Amino acid sequence: DVQLQASGGGLVQAGGSLRLSCAGSGFTFDDYAIGWFRQAPGKEREVAACISPSLSSIYYPDSAKGRYTISSDNAKNTVYLQMNSLKPEDTAVYYCGAYQVECDPFEVSHWGQGTLVTVSS
């Protein structure tokens, strides 16, 4: 079975950095791409970053560009999200999810547990 586990969240001051990890098993990047999604209190789950290692394709929303970097270690079946220059608005539960076509929460077939990122001012 496809399994994902997100980790690396925590409490950080504004301007700081954090690296999230999504460790996968039961699949290869030939089968699935990985997205990071975040959900702030009272808001819908939204895309934070996406990577398709097989296609060498990366996507960031405007809110993440210049601050977030997504990468993959194919040998470890792990995807990372490096988050720099963090802002209080980045505070959310971050989830990683596997998808096959579109990087959208509705297209995710396998979710990891969320990891909480809290950015204080």
pLDDT bucket at 85, cuts 50 / 70 / 90: very high
pLDDT given for residue 121 in this prediction = 94
Phi, psi of 90 (to 5 degrees): -80, -10
Tokens, residue 40? 């702030």
Q: Please tell me the distance from the alpha carbon of residue 18 to that of residue 9, in angstroms, as a whole number.
A: 7
pLDDT given for residue 9 in this prediction = 98
**Tens digit of pLDDT for each residue in 24-51?**
999 999 999 999 999 999 999 999 999 9
Mean pLDDT of 45-61: 95
pLDDT bucket at 63, cuts 50 / 70 / 90: very high
Burial string for 55-78 (b: 16+ CB within 10 Å, else e) reads: eeebebeeebeeebebebeeeebb
pLDDT bucket at 57, cuts 50 / 70 / 90: very high
pLDDT given for residue 86 in this prediction = 98
pLDDT given for residue 33 in this prediction = 96
Mean pLDDT of 62-84: 96
pLDDT given for residue 73 in this prediction = 95
